[in-house]
Structure 1
Amino acid sequence: MTSELGAALTDRKIFGLTYSQDDQEYRVEVGECHPATGEIVDVILHDESIGIYYLCMRSYGVVRGHPIMVNTASVKSVELFDD
């Protein structure tokens, strides 16, 4: 995906985030269903160079399609995996 999107992804292991989009607030976590799509969130990636989080699910960037993109300015909180 990095080459397809031309992304410079961080090494941070993101577990979850809370964000606003289209006048809705969402809380998403890896391994849980995204409230808007009903699909399991497989991975959350962050490209600091352009300020975008990528929410990847089976139909959104993993097997087909493109991930849901969330602007960093829309993110209210980020939770990392414990190392």
Structure 2
Amino acid sequence: MDQTTYAECVEKMNKIAEEQGIIQPKLAIGIKFKEGAHAFVKEQPYPILEREWAIFKKDAETMCEYIPNVFVVDGSKFFLPI
């Protein structure tokens, strides 16, 4: 996440979706919060939107165990927490 822009991830997601036959591609980040950084969730995939990208990049530096990885998820098969 720290080495790419949202637009670059969307471009790569669309390419992967086309190659893999994914109908409803979605971007997700793998979050692992530091102890005490988040009251309810310790680790889970989270859907990421363009308007949240910069906020997550900034917050990840202080709130997460590591800078989140970005994943492509088939939205027609899997539901991500919101």
Higher relative contact order (CA 8 A, sep 6+): 2
Q: Which has the larger radius of gyration?
A: 2
TM-score (norm 2): 0.29
TM-score (norm 1): 0.29
Higher strand content, 1 or 2: 1
